[in-house]
């Protein structure tokens, strides 16, 4: 064994490493592309889920747009207000409000409730099924339930439930809207996370046709429009539309709907009762949409717990603050 | 003889000894980046690019520094021959890794559109076994400089071809109603096996 051999090996490996390492370091300087350092800062703040809800190819692209092209900083829906605030801090801008949203399904027509027009045996995907005569449901507006939304959801928040319709997991859903974009039937939409009541039908067909097609379809009776205590519902074509800003989640529409087309996310609403502060002014009686309150003027009123739907409309109507919820306030209802 | 041999090298690298389906190198990007046709094409071209450059540069490094011959750097300096071929693997890894980094930087500076097309895939190839494998194969097969470069290029073509075929199949596969245990990479591996068997048919090619 020649000592020179060892030296030569060490020098060869060492020198190659040194040359390549130094070369890279030098090249990094020569070929460096100047970038605004704020882009990296913003990119670090973003959720990095690359969901595309902002309309850009990914979080990095959005960060670049925000810094370089003065893009709106509130576009990141999954990040919400928190991220917008952080970006604002980096850029020295003011953040506007971002409302947390979740996806919801505007259809209730499971295979048991809505009629099928044919048995579909093709590719297991809504977009493919739509190409074959608009899908296998008689109702042309209904959800096909083949799970395109489930496949595209970047947050694992939407799954086809036992009844064959997609179910949104509100905890996981970030309201990015990828599923809304992907749905070929347009039965998915976004609504504010705080809202708990929505119409689960998107059929624009006439009442009689809907009745033939689906047991839970909206028949445009307009009862909900008339009964809504805050006037949040209006007809748009053959379908009532809730103004989510006005809606107080009272749930009167859910209760009143003859076809049960509405969905109430609050399960088991608490009932209300009247305590001894009641002076018998009858104001609550006139407010109650289901006539659950009874009592003569001047006497203590009572609420029939079997009739009460837990809408909470009577609470602000009572001048004495005598109406209380039975049990704890266990849901996010807006009760003042 | 020259052109004929190059043709044999090209055809055998693309079909007969396909890097993925016969040599089983580069399986990682083959399964990982074959989900979408677009990214498969991007990855394929990045691999062609890197393979071609890496096989020529590693060949030069090998001949100039490692292989004991009269062309060796150390022979010029000391007048003695030193057999440093045992340093082959470590030098090749070093060369390939820094080369890919360098290429990435240069591309980013010179051609932003090309960087956008290849950029995200380039770092992935740094540690790709296919690149090291081909560099070593070039030495094992006693190719000269031109043959090595052409071989690297052809292997890249073969890789891209198979990757694109796989991506096309997997895009269709995504829409199929598969049993749960087979979804995702599981069926992809089965598919890869079937493709490998199909490519085995090329072994019958004779020149």
- Chain B residues touching A13 at Cβ < 8 A: 87, 90-91
The mean per-residue pLDDT over the stretch B104-121 comes to 75
Q: For residue A323, give the H/E element and its range.
A: strand A323-325
List CB contacts (< 8 A) between A9 and chain B.
Answer: 82, 84, 87
| Average pLDDT of every residue of chain B | 85
Burial of A271 (0-12, 13-18, 19+ CB in 10 A): middle
Higher pLDDT, B61 or A135: B61
- Is residue A30 classed exposed, middle or buried when 0-12, 13-18 and 19+ CB atoms within 10 A define those classes? exposed
**Which band of pLDDT confidence, cut at 50, 70 and 90, is reported for residue B120?**
low
Between chains, do B80 and A4 touch, taking CB under 8 Å as contact?
Answer: yes
Q: Which chain B residues are Cβ-neighbours of A124 within 8 angstroms?
A: 175-177
* pLDDT given for residue A331 in this prediction: 46
Which among B39, B61, B101 is the top mutation candidate for probing chain A, defined by the most A β-carbons within 10 Å of its own β-carbon? B101
The pLDDT confidence band at residue B190, using thresholds 50, 70 and 90, is very high
- Is there a contact between A12 and B87 if contact means CB atoms under 8 Å apart? yes
Residue A330's pLDDT is 45
CB contact under 8 A, B82 and A28: no
For residue B1, what pLDDT is reported?
54
Which pLDDT belongs to residue A37? Answer: 81
Residue B137: pLDDT above 80?
yes
Burial class (CB in 10 A: 0-12, 13-18, 19+), B155: buried
User: Which DSSP category does A269 fall into?
Assistant: P
Out of A27, A32, A128, the one facing B102 most closely (by C-beta) is: A27
* Pairwise CA distance, residues B139 & B137, whole Å: 5
Q: Are A110 and A165 in contact (CB under 8 A)?
A: yes
Q: Contacts of residue B65 in chain A, CB cutoff 8 Å?
A: 12, 16
Instruction: For A186-203, give the DSSP string.
Output: --EEEEETT--EEE----
Residues of B in contact with A5 (CB under 8 A): 82
Backbone CA torsion sign across A6, A11, A16, A21: positive
Contact residues for A203 (Cβ-Cβ < 8 A; gap 6+) = A139, A141, A142, A210, A213, A214, A217, A218, A238, A239
Token readout for A2 is: 């020649």
What value of ipTM does the predicted structure carry? 0.74
How confident is the model over B127-156, as a mean pLDDT? Answer: 90
Q: What is the pLDDT of residue A164?
A: 85
The Cα–Cα gap between B98 and B102 comes to: 6
Give the pairing of strands A239-242 and A233-236: antiparallel
| B105 Cα to chain A: minimum distance (Å) | 6
Half-sphere exposure of A157 toward its Cβ, with a 13 Å CA cutoff? 23
Low-confidence ranges of chain A (pLDDT < 50): 330-336
Give me the pLDDT at residue A96, please. Answer: 58
Residues of A with CB under 8 A from a CB of B: 4-5, 8-9, 12-13, 16-17, 20-21, 23-24, 27-28, 31-33, 123-125, 128, 151
Q: Is A314 exposed, middle or buried (0-12, 13-18, 19+ CB in 10 A)?
A: buried
DSSP string, A83-112: HHHHHHHHHT--------EEEEES----TT
**Residues of B whose CB is below 8 A from A27:** 102, 105-106
Residue A314 main-chain phi, psi, to 5 deg:
-70, -25
CB atoms closer than 10 angstroms to residue A121: 9
pLDDT single digits (tens) A250-300? 888 888 888 888 888 887 777 888 887 888 888 888 888 878 888 888 788
Percent of all residues in chain B with a pLDDT value above 90, rounded to a whole number: 26
Query: Is residue B144 scored above 80 in pLDDT?
Result: yes
Using CA atoms, how far apart are residues A244 and B182, in angstroms rounded to an integer? 43
Mean of pLDDT values over B112-116 = 75
> For residue B56, is pLDDT > 50?
yes
The mean pLDDT value for B84-112 works out to 85
Count CB atoms within 10 A of the CB of residue B189.
Answer: 14
The minimum CA-CA distance between B13 and chain A, rounded to whole Å, is 30
Task: Give pLDDT tens digits for A161-183.
Answer: 888 889 998 888 888 888 888 89
pLDDT at residue B182, rounded to an integer: 87
């Amino acid at each position: 064994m020649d000592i020179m051999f060892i030296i030569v090996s060490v020098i060869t490996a060492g020198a190659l490493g040194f040359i390549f390492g130094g070369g890279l370091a030098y090249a990094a300087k020569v070929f460096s592309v100047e970038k605004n350092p704020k882009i990296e800062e913003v990119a670090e703040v973003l959720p990095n889920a690359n969901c595309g809800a902002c309309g850009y190819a990914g979080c990095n692209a959005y960060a670049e747009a925000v810094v370089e092209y003065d893009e709106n900083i509130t576009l990141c829906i999954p990040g919400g207000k928190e991220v917008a605030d952080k970006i604002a801090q980096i850029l020295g801008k003011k953040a506007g409000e971002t409302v947390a949203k979740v996806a919801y399904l505007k259809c209730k027509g499971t295979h048991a409730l809505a009629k099928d027009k044919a048995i579909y045996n093709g590719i297991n995907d809504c977009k493919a099924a739509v190409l074959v005569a608009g899908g296998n449901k008689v109702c042309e507006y209904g959800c096909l339930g083949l799970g395109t939304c489930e496949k595209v959801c970047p947050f694992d928040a939407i799954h086809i439930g036992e009844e064959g319709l997609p179910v949104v997991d509100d905890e996981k859903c970030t309201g990015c809207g990828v599923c809304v974009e992907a749905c070929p039937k347009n039965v998915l939409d976004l609504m504010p996370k705080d809202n708990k009541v929505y119409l689960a039908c998107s059929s624009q067909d006439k009442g009689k046709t809907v009745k033939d097609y689906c047991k839970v379809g909206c028949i445009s009776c307009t009862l909900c429009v008339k009964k809504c205590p805050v006037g949040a519902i209006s007809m748009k074509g053959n379908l009532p539309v809730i103004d989510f800003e006005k809606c107080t989640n009272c749930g009167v529409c859910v209760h009143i709907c003859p076809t049960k087309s509405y969905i109430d996310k609050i399960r088991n609403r608490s009932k209300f009762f009247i305590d001894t502060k009641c002076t018998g002014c009858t104001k609550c009686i006139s407010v109650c949409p289901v006539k659950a309150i009874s009592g003569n003027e001047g006497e203590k009123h009572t609420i029939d717990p079997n009739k009460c739907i837990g809408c909470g409309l009577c609470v602000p109507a009572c001048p004495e603050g005598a109406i209380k919820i039975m049990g704890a306030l266990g849901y996010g209802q807006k009760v003042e | 003889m020259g052109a004929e041999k190059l043709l044999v090298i090209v055809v055998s690298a693309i079909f007969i000894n396909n890097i993925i389906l016969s040599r089983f190198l580069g399986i990682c990007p083959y399964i990982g980046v074959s989900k979408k046709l677009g990214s498969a094409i991007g990855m394929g071209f990045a691999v062609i690019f890197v393979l071609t450059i890496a096989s020529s540069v590693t060949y030069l490094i090998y001949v100039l520094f490692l292989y004991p011959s009269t062309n060796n750097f150390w022979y010029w300096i000391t007048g003695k021959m030193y057999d440093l071929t045992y340093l082959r693997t470590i030098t090749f890894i070093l060369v390939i890794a820094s080369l890919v980094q360098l290429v990435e930087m240069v591309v980013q500076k010179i051609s932003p559109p090309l960087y956008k097309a290849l950029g995200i895939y380039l770092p992935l190839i740094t540690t790709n076994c296919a690149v090291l494998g081909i560099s070593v194969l070039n030495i094992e097969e006693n190719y000269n400089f031109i043959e090595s470069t052409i071989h690297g290029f052809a292997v890249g073509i073969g890789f891209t071809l198979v990757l694109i075929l796989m991506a096309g199949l997997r895009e269709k596969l995504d829409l199929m109603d598969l049993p749960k245990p087979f979804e995702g990479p599981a069926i992809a591996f089965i598919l890869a096996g079937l493709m490998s068997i199909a490519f085995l048919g090329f072994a019958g090619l004779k020149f």
